Amino acid sequence: MIIELLTNPRAFFSTICKQEPSLKIPALIILVMALVGSITGYMMGELSGKLFSGMMEGLATIAAVSAAISTFFSSFIIWLVAAVILFGLQKVMQGTGTFKRVMEICGYGMVPLVFATIITLLLSGYYIPQADISPIRSTNPEEISKAAMSMMLDPALHEFSIISTIITIIFLIWVANIWSIGVEACCGLPAKKALIVAGLPVLIYIAYTLASLLLFTGGAA
């Protein structure tokens, strides 16, 4: 089923469209993505917590667990937000898909992001141990801000940020491709309009991500 989604999405969505919309499998896909992503979130949170570990005992663990939980739930929120945007755009383009159908397409279309999160997890296992984070022992807000910025400028984390962003962008293009085929097949839109509905939010997201990366890391490594 998933193989067909990736290799022949048009046939896959043609079959899906004939059935009642169901969110069980898409939710399962998002759950896997959320679980894998939360592991990466835990590692990053632990690293950030080290920065403040000098101020309070166990802060690193608290930060790690908080990051893992927020990453887990943010996967579902992203799914919901993407579905809302796609639903709105396909309505603007006079599509016929219901919100549940669009959410189903959106969920199926995020399968490539599961691969992206797995690759990101592997990369985080390689880069995060290289990060040189010294705990802050001052309570001066200025020094804390400086230390947080220096964490982002750490060579290992800098490289990791750029590579994970590139990987996410690559897989988002794949996601946009699946979404456009799904919208075309299930929402009664021509190929061009379906491409705009799926591609526009992804393009905006890619532009936003690249801008954020340049802003926080000061450019390429």
Q: For binding to other proteins (CB under 8 A), which residues are involved?
A: 6-11, 54, 112, 119, 130, 132, 134-135, 137, 155, 159, 162-163, 166-167, 170-171, 173-174, 177-178, 181, 220-221
CB distance 59 to 52 below 8 Å: yes
Give dist(CA 166, CA 210) in Å, integer.
9
Nearer to other proteins, 72 or 217 (CB): 217
The token pair at 80 is 């919901």
Neighbour tally for 123: CB within 10 Å? 16
Minimum CB separation of residue 73 from other proteins in Å reads 27
Handedness of CA 92, 97, 103, 109 (dihedral sign): negative
Nearer to other proteins, 69 or 131 (CB): 131
Nearer to other proteins, 204 or 221 (CB): 221
- Locus of tokens 């590579």: 163
Minimum CB separation of residue 122 from other proteins in Å reads 10
Nearer to other proteins, 128 or 170 (CB): 170
Minimum CB separation of residue 184 from other proteins in Å reads 11
Minimum CB separation of residue 158 from other proteins in Å reads 9
Minimum CB separation of residue 198 from other proteins in Å reads 12
Nearer to other proteins, 49 or 68 (CB): 49
Residues 6+ apart with CB under 8 A from 133: 47, 50, 51, 151, 154
Of 158, 161, 164, 157, give the one whose Cα is nearest residue 120.
Answer: 164
